[in-house]
Structure 1
């Protein structure tokens, strides 16, 4: 999904009249945007409760505690997540500026088949991650 998003934005290129200025908003709207951004960020990089159960299944000894293995795994997972999300955010903002929607595929709009394929991948991901 994220690869489709940033590659499609890169292929489309920048809008001719793109503006990178700050979008004017009332104080209330700005506050709600901050809270929305915090919620989206915490959802993206959520420290799931499942991690505690995973750590409990890793063999642990005083010489090699499980927290070392968990730390390495967590760092790797966050780096992979960042490698997926940052190109989408940066290239989407480069292409559409302040007019980018929350879902960059809405800003992209076309080709409709590509947008549908990306959304289908999200559905497959959500179904596969349901526990």
Structure 2
């Protein structure tokens, strides 16, 4: 038997301010904010995945060695076309750092737009629609 994984279930982002980060991901990327577990931990859900927000100063989490805010590069896909993504980011007063530019995603060619979240993580928003 060969071991394989099916999909990414969730990931953990270390953040400076969970409230600020959760609000940004909800407002800019349309994610739902959830509280869960002990100490009212914060998660962001979208599709069949979630992102847990780990406060950088909070102990009691099992996490990556040396986890720091602003050290992740994340790519999210959307069914929107790029001109609509640009309009939305502009309306949210989010600076576009690059794009639209052609890239290759997990399923083939995409057009991507890049910005940064409040911690400086690089956020790529990709569209298979162009």
Name the structure with the higher helix share.
1
TM superposition score category, shorter chain reference: under 0.3
TM-score using structure 1 length: 0.24
Q: Which structure's relative contact order is higher, taking Cα pairs within 8 Å and 6+ residues apart?
A: 1
TM-score using structure 2 length: 0.24
Structure having the higher Rg: 1
